[in-house]
Amino acid sequence: MSKKTLVVIALLVSQLAIYFGASVVQAATLNVDFSASPSSGPAPLNNVSLTAVVSGTATGLINYKFDCTNDGTWDLVVNNSVSTTYTASNLCNYSSAGTYTAKVRVERGVLSFEGTTAIFVTSGPDLSVVLSANPSSGPVPLNGVDLTAAVSGSATGNITYKFDCTSDGGWESTITTATNPYTAVDLCNYATQGNYTATVQVQRGGLSFQGTTAIVVQLPLTLGLSITAAPSSGRAPVNGVDLSATVSGTTTGNITYRFDCTNDGVWDATQTTSQTTYTAIDLCNYTSPGVYGVKVKAERSGSEIQGLINIVVGDTATLAVNFSATPYTGSAPLSGVDLIASVSGTATGNITYKFDCTSDGSWDLTQLTSQTSYTAVDLCSYSSPGTYTSKARIERGGITVEGTASVLVF
């Protein structure tokens, strides 16, 4: 079994305090697993293949550079590859016994990383080990991490495994067994954020070998949610209410938004998107007065959060007008008649007054004002005897009312 050295680079984003409407964007990362096959054997050890496996969030074409002996000379350069796995087949030859270091350099986007792996050329039995961690990364505290050691090589006999969770020189577990591979279950706990290196030492047939693996402990994943409604209040009916949700925090991935206009347990809209702000347009209608609870849930990468806001719907607005003419009677010709309108009701806002002296459909005066009483002075004149109907139309807060008053000319 080949030896694989796991190299991890992570650009960690420090935890942000979550404020109303805040958002976080994580930096790109570039990771590479580098291995040799075979990674050990008797001299001469020829046709060794080097394999690089690239992962992480960085994007773009990849440049691979391979150096069989880490002597500063690239034995193979491959530019502009679209593949995240590249094997330099049968690249390296080692004629003499010894420990050789092969190196790879990977470049992608603006990031680059170099990793190494060891090749052991022996004149007798050989021993190597690959160490892995499960999980190898996660939010703090990261507890119950398993370490698994897989031994290879021509050495024989029982194997002594020694595990060190933090490479501090203290073995957390030692066992001698014929089992291969061997897993130290729930061995390691990491209470603080950081990059840790675990070590295993294996001994077999008089040989000893060490392997390492990286454990990345991140700041806790967070998810925040803020909700707004437009409008958030009004007089019944309140229709076409928009609900907007904004997600923040360090959790990444697509977001599923769920909206419930009345908090009755039934989602009125569901949308999955990569956007951290989403608006459900004209979603909610409220026909009757009352206080309505609106619930919104956001789900992202296994985490979820929900919030509530209230929509306040008041009684239906009212509007009334008291309309009169002064003088309302007199002999022909009757001139200088005032039309007077007084407005009442719960409707609010500026008032538009429209006056028609004879109700012929043509407004003789239009006036916009905040005053609840308005007099159209000397507006109307009547040259001939008769009974005339004057009219006023009042508009306020989207409501319209009309009133009439008779004028008698004899």
| pLDDT tens figures, 5-64 | 333 333 333 333 333 343 455 789 999 999 999 999 888 899 999 999 999 999 999 999
Q: Please, what's the b/e burial string for 37-64 (b: 16 or more CB within 10 A of its CB; e: otherwise)?
A: bbbbbeeebeebebbbbbebebeeebeb
Is 73 found in the same domain as 16?
A: yes
Model-level pTM greater than 0.85? no
Domain C-terminal end among 265, 290, 314: 314
Question: Are 119 and 1 in a shared domain?
Answer: yes
Q: Are 282 and 368 found together in one domain?
A: no
Dmax (CA) of the chain? 135
**Predicted pLDDT at 316:** 83
Domain limit, last residue, from 280, 314, 348: 314
User: Is residue 360 in some structural domain?
Assistant: yes
Q: Which neighbouring-strand residues pair with 40?
A: 120
CATH number at residue 120: 2.60.40.10
Which of 270, 294, 281 lies closest to 239 in space, CA to CA? 281
Burial 114-134 (b: 16+ CB within 10 A, else e): ebebbbbbbeebbbbbbbbbe
Of 352, 358, 325, the closest CA to residue 340 belongs to 325
- Domain assignment present for residue 253? The answer is yes
Whole-angstrom distance, CA of residue 298 vs CA of residue 247: 7
Let me know whether 397 and 328 are in one domain: yes
pLDDT of residue 220: 87
More confident of the two residues 23 and 83: 83
Specify if 28 maps to a domain. Answer: yes
Please state the domain count of the chain.
Answer: 4
* Shared-domain flag, residues 95 and 43: yes
The pLDDT value recorded for residue 8 is 32
Expressed as residue numbers, the domain containing 201 is: 135-150+157-219
Q: Is residue 334 part of a domain?
A: yes
Q: Residue 302: inside a domain, yes or no?
A: yes
Across the chain, what does the average pLDDT equal?
A: 92
Closest C-alpha to 64, from 76, 49, 47, 48: 76
Q: Which residue has the higher pLDDT, 15 or 115?
A: 115
The Cα–Cα gap between 36 and 42 comes to 15
What's the pLDDT score for residue 242? 98
- Do 144 and 116 lie in one domain? The reply is no
130 lies in some domain: no
Structure tokens at 259: 């909206």
Q: What tokens does 106 get?
A: 């990977």
Asked if residue 255 and residue 143 are part of one domain, the reply reads: no
If asked whether residues 6 and 99 sit together in one domain, one would say: yes
Is residue 129 domain-resident?
A: no
188 band by pLDDT with thresholds 50, 70 and 90? very high
| 362 CB-side CA count, 13 A | 4
Q: Which amino acid is at 125?
A: P
Q: Are strands 329-330 and 399-409 parallel, antiparallel or unpaired?
A: parallel
Q: Can you tell me whether residue 295 is helix, strand or coil?
A: strand
According to the model, what pLDDT value does residue 25 have? 56
The answer on pLDDT for 77 being more than 70 is yes
Residue 3 has pLDDT above 90, yes or no: no
Tell whether 253 and 306 lie within a shared domain.
Answer: yes
Is residue 279 located within the same domain as residue 330?
A: no
Predicted pLDDT of residue 44: 82
What average pLDDT score do residues 182-206 get?
A: 97
Residues 306 and 189 in one domain: no
Q: Are residues 17 and 108 in the same domain?
A: yes
